Structure 1
Amino acid sequence: MPQLTPGADPPPRRGRGRRPADQVRAEILAAAGNLLLAEGMAGFTIEKVAALAGASRMTIYKWWPSKGALALDGYFSVVAHTLAFPDTGDVVADLTNQLVAFVHLMTDTPAGRVISQLVAQAQTDPELAAAYRERYSAPRRALGVEALTRAMARGQLRDDLDPEVVVDQLWGACYHRLLIPDQPLTEDFARALVDNLVRGLRGEIGPGKP
Structure 2
Amino acid sequence: MPAVPSIKAAPTAVAGTPARRGRGRRPAGDVRADVLRTVGELLLSEGLADFTIERVSRISGVSKTTIYKWWPSRGALALDGYFHAVEPTLAFPETGDVRADLTAQLHAFGRLVGATPAGRLLAELIGAAQTDAELAIAYRSLYSSERRHLAAARMERAQAAGQLRPDVDPQVVIDQLWGAVYHRLLIPDEPITTTFIDALLNNLLDGILAPEHPAGDTSRR
Q: Same fold (TM over 0.5)?
A: yes
Equivalent position of 1:83 in the other structure: 90
TM-superposed CA distance for 1:126, in Å, is 2.2
Name the CA distance, whole Å, in 2 between partners of 1:2 and 1:8: 18
Equivalent position of 2:143 in the other structure: 136
5+ residue gaps in structure 1? 206-210
Aligned length: 205
Residue 172 (structure 2) pairs with residue 165 (structure 1)? yes
Residue 118 (structure 2) pairs with residue 111 (structure 1)? yes
Correspondence for 1:34 among 41, 44, 49: 41
Equivalent position of 2:202 in the other structure: 195
Q: CA offsets per residue over residues 80-123 of structure 1, 9 Å max, x none?
A: 00000001101101100100000111122110000001111112
Name the CA distance, whole Å, in 2 between partners of 1:203 and 1:13: 57
Correspondence for 1:68 among 71, 75, 82: 75
Name the CA distance, whole Å, in 1 between partners of 2:165 and 2:11: 45
Name the CA distance, whole Å, in 2 between partners of 1:42 and 1:21: 28
Name the CA distance, whole Å, in 1 between partners of 2:89 and 2:34: 19
Asked if the contact 1:24/1:55 (under 8 Å) is kept, the reply is yes
SS at match of 2:143: helix
TM-superposed CA distance for 1:14, in Å, is 4.6
Asked if the contact 1:36/1:43 (under 8 Å) is kept, the reply is no
Asked if the contact 2:164/2:208 (under 8 Å) is kept, the reply is yes
Asked if the contact 1:69/1:135 (under 8 Å) is kept, the reply is no
Asked if the contact 2:111/2:192 (under 8 Å) is kept, the reply is no
TM-score by length of 2: 0.88
TM-superposed CA distance for 1:45, in Å, is 0.6
TM-superposed CA distance for 1:8, in Å, is 4.5
RMSD value, Cα: 1.6
Correspondence for 2:188 among 172, 181, 186: 181
5+ residue gaps in structure 2? 217-221
SS at match of 2:31: helix
TM-superposed CA distance for 1:131, in Å, is 1.5
- Give the residue type in structure 1 aligned to 2:93: P
Q: CA offsets per residue over residues 99-154 of structure 1, 9 Å max, x none?
A: 00001111221100000011111122222212211111111111111111111111
Residue 31 (structure 2) pairs with residue 24 (structure 1)? yes
Q: Percent identity?
A: 59
- Give the residue type in structure 2 aligned to 1:178: L
Asked if the contact 1:32/1:75 (under 8 Å) is kept, the reply is yes
Equivalent position of 2:219 in the other structure: none
Name the CA distance, whole Å, in 2 between partners of 1:61 and 1:127: 13
Asked if the contact 1:33/1:78 (under 8 Å) is kept, the reply is yes
SS at match of 2:145: helix
TM-superposed CA distance for 1:194, in Å, is 0.8
- Give the residue type in structure 1 aligned to 2:6: Q
